[in-house]
Structure 1
Amino acid sequence: MTDPASLIESLKMTPHPEGGHFAETFRADDGSASLIFYLLKNDERSHWHRLTKNEILHFYDGDPMSVLLSPDGASIQEKTLGRDAIDNEPYHLILPKGTWFSMQSTGDWSLIGCTVSPAFSFDDFELAPKGWIPGQGHP
């Protein structure tokens, strides 16, 4: 059985500012796209954040990932990224630019991929203040 500590080591992952661990695995020379592995353990969460670019989340391994979305910064929708598309757990989820989102594993750990196009830059990343949730005014 795979454990998250082994994956973090094997994939050469490092802590991510939003929470969890990541490793960039692809960046197009022309800046058109980038791809990372992203892992959350059961005691971690991806805090509310948004990008100025479109992002696609891909499920890879572990338990399903709960994804909270807020396109308008006020209302919240919950999606579950997983391996059972028939049971409303899609294999991938498209996040339009500007969408606030937060994630948490529904079990022991979740491994996903995140594709950003054009390529990710921390200049395009906004992390909400600690404790902020949609509906509490603009962060």
Structure 2
Amino acid sequence: MTTKEDYIRQFQLTPHPEGGWYQQIYHSEDKYFDLESGGQRYRYTSIYFLLDSTSPSHFHRLNHDELWYFHAGQGITIHCISPNGHYQAVKLGQNIQSGERLQFKVPKETIFASEVSDSNSFGFVSCMVAPGFDYRDFELLSKEKLLARYPQHRSVIDRLAVDDTNQ
């Protein structure tokens, strides 16, 4: 059986600032000036991304769409809060009979976090961003900031947002 450590070693994954482990695997050959970002960006970027029950992806926001593709392990739940405050939880995984999806698009400006719910498990996915990911287009959101705006989602924010002292 392939373990979390096998994936981390084989794909040379390193800790991601939002949580989990990642490695950029592709980006377009060229860059262009993206008006929304106000700077040069690759046309797309793609990463491998691994989460386990001890390291979720904390709430953050991108100014571009992100596509998620499930590969292996246990299902991953993506928790989304749209700009108007609507909450949606989407489960990526191979159990399509129970409603899991193999891929999902997180729309730009959506605040989102993801986690593996089962203890001692992991999920392995790819994520693709177009225009390409750049940390200047990324915002890690604090628990305090999120609760002030979306108090109705306290239970998931308390669990998956970073503490203010961690920023």
TM-score (norm 1): 0.92
Q: Please name the residue that 2:33 is paired with.
A: none
Alignment pair present for 1:137 and 2:137: no
Q: Please name the residue that 2:126 is paired with.
A: 113
Q: Please state whether the residue corresponding to 2:9 is helix, strand or coil.
A: helix
In structure 2, give the amino acid aligned to 1:18. E
Partners of 1:135 and 1:71 lie apart in 2 by: 14
Q: 2:87 aligns with which of 49, 67, 76?
A: 76
Q: Please name the residue that 2:157 is paired with.
A: none
The gaps in structure 2 that reach 5 residues or longer are 31-41, 151-163
Q: Please name the residue that 2:115 is paired with.
A: 104
Q: Is the contact between residue 73 and residue 135 of structure 1 (CA under 8 Å) also seen in structure 2?
A: no
Identity level (%): 28
Q: CA RMSD in A?
A: 1.8
Partners of 1:58 and 1:50 lie apart in 2 by: 18
Deviation sequence 1:8-35 (CA, Å, 0-9, x none): 0110001000001000000101221110
The gaps in structure 1 that reach 5 residues or longer are none
Q: Please name the residue that 1:20 is paired with.
A: 20
CA offset at residue 133 of structure 1? 7.5
Q: Is the contact between residue 55 and residue 116 of structure 1 (CA under 8 Å) also seen in structure 2?
A: yes
Moved over 4 A (4+): 132-135
Partners of 1:134 and 1:82 lie apart in 2 by: 27
Q: Please state whether the residue corresponding to 1:5 is helix, strand or coil.
A: helix
TM-score (norm 2): 0.77
Higher relative contact order (CA 8 A, sep 6+): 1
Q: Please name the residue that 2:57 is paired with.
A: 46
Partners of 1:63 and 1:117 lie apart in 2 by: 26
Q: Is the contact between residue 64 and residue 80 of structure 1 (CA under 8 Å) also seen in structure 2?
A: yes
